[in-house]
Chains A and B, each alone.
Chain A
Amino acid sequence: MYRLILITRYLLKRRITHFAIAAVALCVFTVVVVMTVMIGLVGGFKEKNHAFVGDCVVGTESLVGFPYYEEFMTLVEHSGLVQGVSPVVKSYALYGTEITDNYDNVEIVGVDPVRHSQVTNFAQTLDFNGHQPQKAFVPTYDANLPGCILGINRVSRPDPRGQYVHYDAPFRASVTLMCFPLNAMGALVGAGTNPTVTKRFYYSDDIHTGIAAVDFGYVFLPLDQAQLLCMSGQEKRINALYLKFRPNVGLQEGCRQIAELWRQFQADKAGAPNSFLLEGVNVQSWKEYRRAVVAPMEHEQLMLSMMFTLVGITTVFIVFVVFYMVVNSKKKDIGVLKSVGASNTGVLSLFQGFAFGVGLVGSCVGIFFGWLFLTRINQIEQFCYKHFGIQLWDRTVYVIGAIPNQVDPSALAVIMSCAILACLIGALVPSYLAVRLRPVETLHAGRM
């Protein structure tokens, strides 16, 4: 009981413990703010990538692609596992505009817009035809022209807040795509004469996914057009099938079953023409498929966590110094407590409880101010931009709208426990010194 009273008095009355609490609060504040933003950025980025490809991808790295996909689509659709399948052609082309003579290389993606919208968030990311994806490749200004969907950055520039100018309808503009179609053997189709196919497409919509590479560069074409540009041969080919599982199908389990289905299919197709192309096909979850894109961000998060270990060590050290000073200034009290019968564990728990209190109060204060700061972070950033021209994330570079500020309660719990633990560790040595103190050393009148 005396401990509880003394702890609260020490916490309230001693200036030095206020410093310790402030230091802990500051560390917690930093970690909460940075962690929340980072978790938000990484989580948001992952979510965007998930939404962009669906749950599972049956695909090949090769630009040649693989045939017989329609048969496999039927198989998959009958398996009861999926609620959507979308065949995708992925390749590269040279890209020219009416304005400049320069060609630029782009990634082109051929999709069936209706199917693709069943699997991914394709429709939601379209600027004009979100509610009618079947019209996405039909230019409003001339329905007979072949349409294309451009990454939003090709038709508009974000303002410093990351907002794009929105038009009522796509304006009339065309792009020229030059491709090098490959046959099933991976050779250029027109070798010797003219290996390229060039075709003009008209801007019918633009896409805004929040994934920089897509928004800055991609060109989406109708599936058949993409197949014409990129591949030739007897049978139609694609590079990937994007699948969306039914809600009751788990990601791992679904992928496993699709992989099994694919093995079966590949075995059945053995001996069919060009069936060797099926060998290069992998079944991957969206996480595996987009790993190359997501991994660097996860790595950054890991680096950041390691930086936070340093913050933790700093906290331990600060608490150590403060408690060392407290114990030294409280030697007399310790002696008094022992002289009236306080046990060693009593003294130990007094200082550890004190440290716990510092950690608890400090992390609560830090979390409170962190939360307060996060709820205002976007206003603060806008204010800074307006008055000082400072922006945390340059929106012309980062494809984020607002800074994420969704506080994760489980992360808060972890941060709080770590802060308290840091305080307990920091106070360990000083507490031990207090325990070791012999009452006569501190009470001896001659030694005052």
Chain B
Amino acid sequence: MSESPVILKAQNVHKSYRMGATRVVVLKGVDLLVREGEFVAIVGASGSGKSTLLHILGGLDRPDKGLVQFQGRDVNRMSARELNRYRNETVGFVFQFYHLLDELSVRENVVLPAMISRSITGWLMMRRRARQRGEELLEQLGLRERARHKPYQLSGGERQRVAIGRALMNQPELLLADEPTGNLDSTTGSGILNVFDQLNQAGQTIVLVTHDERVARRAQRIVTLVDGRVKG
């Protein structure tokens, strides 16, 4: 089996937080390679820095030191505009607590990333295509009946599916998920994991963070964070 090309590369990533007078060192030189089409699970104890690493990979935070490359481009060197584009088009984020906008309907939440990057005229021009893509996603995620509902009317599993729909809206090359099942019961959680499986089978690259071994086993490869470094 020939190895597919590297899509994401993290090298010697350091990150620490200042908490008053003391410094909490969270990442102490993390190295990570993700290949196209891979499904990687990052595991580690609570507080080991999994979320921090994922945020850095997704361009939501900057490392103190080290390199993050996406398809050869240095994420830390991106201009604000490039970074916005990276967050908007290249990666899709799924959070443990869904983080949907309460004021928007399910459909609007899903289509949001397509709207964000466009002016009103730009949006009007590609509205139909975006709507269509939104409908496809709602269909695929079993949310068609829910399109007009507001997030507070949905169950946890449904909300997480909306969040996945939003993450996939702009067809990102990389899907990042931070404990996507952390807030769900095991049946609902495994439903969500099935969605990830399907996506991965269709070629989607996924990096998933969890502290649950059973969840991690659904991935092709498990990376363990211990003491701010990747073990093994």
Residues of B within 8 A of A335 (CB): 99
With the chains together, A360 CA to B179 CA distance in Å? 43
Residues of B within 8 A of A339 (CB): 58, 60, 87, 93, 99
Contact B178 A445 (CB under 8 A): yes
Please name the residue on chain B nearest to A6 by beta carbon.
Answer: B103
A1-B118, A341-B116 are contacts. A445–B97 as well, Cβ < 8 Å? yes
Give the distance to chain A from B164, nearest Cβ to Cβ, in Å.
13
With the chains together, A444 CA to B47 CA distance in Å? 12
Residues of B within 8 A of A343 (CB): 80-81, 84
> Which of A13, A338, A343 has most B Cβ within 10 Å?
A343
With the chains together, A343 CA to B86 CA distance in Å? 11
Residues of A within 8 A of B81 (CB): 343
Q: Which of B85-141 contact A (CB under 8 A)?
A: 85-89, 93, 95-97, 99-104, 108, 112-113, 115-120, 123-124
Contact B96 A445 (CB under 8 A): yes
Contact A438 B87 (CB under 8 A): no
Query: Is residue B55 within 8 Å, beta carbon to beta carbon, of the partner chain?
Result: yes
A5-B108, A9-B104, A440-B55 are contacts. A340–B166 as well, Cβ < 8 Å? yes
With the chains together, A444 CA to B51 CA distance in Å? 8
With the chains together, A335 CA to B58 CA distance in Å? 13
With the chains together, A448 CA to B99 CA distance in Å? 11
With the chains together, A440 CA to B101 CA distance in Å? 17
Number of interface residues of B (CB under 8 A): 38
Q: Which of A250-287 contact B (CB under 8 A)?
A: none
Contact A440 B60 (CB under 8 A): yes
Give the distance to chain B from A433, nearest Cβ to Cβ, in Å.
18
With the chains together, A9 CA to B113 CA distance in Å? 18
With the chains together, A48 CA to B150 CA distance in Å? 63
16 contacts between A and B (CB under 8 A): A5-B104, A5-B115, A6-B103, A9-B103, A335-B99, A336-B100, A337-B101, A339-B60, A340-B113, A341-B86, A341-B113, A343-B80, A439-B60, A443-B55, A444-B51, A445-B97
Partner-A contacts on B (CB < 8 A): 51, 55, 58, 60-61, 80-81, 84-89, 93, 95-97, 99-104, 108, 112-113, 115-120, 123-124, 166, 178-179, 182
Partner-B contacts on A (CB < 8 A): 1-2, 4-6, 9-10, 13, 332-333, 335-344, 346, 438-440, 443-446, 448
